[in-house]
Amino acid sequence: MTTFWLGAHIEGWLATVDVPLFVSHRRLARRVRLPVARGPWALDSGGFTELSMFGAWQTTEVSYGAAVRRYQDEIGGLAWAAPMDWMCEPFMLAKTRLTVEDHQRLTVENYLRLSETGLPFVPVLQGWTLDDYLRCVDLYARAGIDLPALALVGIGSICRRQNTGQVGLIVSTIAGLGISLHGFGVKVAGLSTYADSLASADSMAWSFRARRSPALPGCTHKSCANCLRFALAWREKVMRRISTQQLRLAV
């Protein structure tokens, strides 16, 4: 069964719910006092936002590593953390003025350095075409990282095209190499197509959905874009959809 990490832009939810949460470093970094987690959670590096805004990482590896250690010690329950990877969407390449190959090299090099901290960083595969992702697998192999031997490997740059046949082929091909994949930002349409090829996935699509929908009965706010009740109900629907899809494929 695919593990689903509920994207949470309200970091205080860590202390109130025990479902797996996916929380951004950009939210936690501003906290003086951190919440204590009730359940498991994973850390998003916030790279998509940072690269979109600045065209390069402004956060240093030293400060990010120190922050992750603090989260592990003070929040507890940290299952894994994303490294400072470099996304490969065309608009992101236009921002950084680098190539897909540059982004892949920087991603692998960053993981190698952060993994030396002993903290639970996971490697991330980046690319755009299937050949790109296969090349990234090879980059890790040449660096001595046996991806199929690891518990989890992220696959990035898929969220904005996650329900396309191209992404389905990429995910299924990489999973077919024996690599246990986490899909970043995989929405319901994508999960309905290739959830069987993912060990886990995360999404914050619930908040976008809530902004475009009436508030739930009994809620007093204008929209449920920041509503834990809406987020948990949406997560339950996603889990049922994943279960249905994987049961159908198992028959």
Q: Please report the pLDDT score of residue 229 as a whole number.
A: 92
Q: Quick one: tokens of 241?
A: 């959809």
Which residue ranges make up each domain of the chain? 3-250
Task: Give the pLDDT score at 214.
Answer: 86
pTM reported for the whole predicted model = 0.92
Q: How far apart are CA 6 and CA 24, in angstroms?
A: 12
> 60: Cβ–Cβ under 8 A, 6 or more apart, which residues?
none
What are the structure tokens assigned to 119, written together? Answer: 């903290």
Confidence (pLDDT) at 247? 43
Q: Output the pLDDT for position 9.
A: 93
Beta carbons of 45 and 39 less than 8 angstroms apart: no
Along the 251 residues of the chain, how does pLDDT read in single tens digits? 789 999 999 999 999 999 999 999 999 999 999 999 999 999 999 999 999 999 999 999 999 999 999 999 999 999 999 999 999 999 999 999 999 999 999 999 999 999 999 999 999 999 999 999 999 999 999 999 999 999 999 999 987 775 567 888 999 999 999 999 999 988 777 777 787 899 999 998 888 888 888 888 888 888 888 889 999 998 998 888 777 655 444 43
Number of Cβ within a 10 Å radius of residue 234: 21
Strand spans (E) along 38-129: 41-44, 78-81, 124-125
| Listed residue (71, 64, 79, 10) closest to 230, CA to CA | 10
Fold classification of 3-250 is TIM Barrel (3.20.20)
Supply the Cα-derived Rg of the chain in whole angstroms.
18
- Tell me what pLDDT residue 251 has: 35
Q: Give the model's pLDDT for residue 250.
A: 42
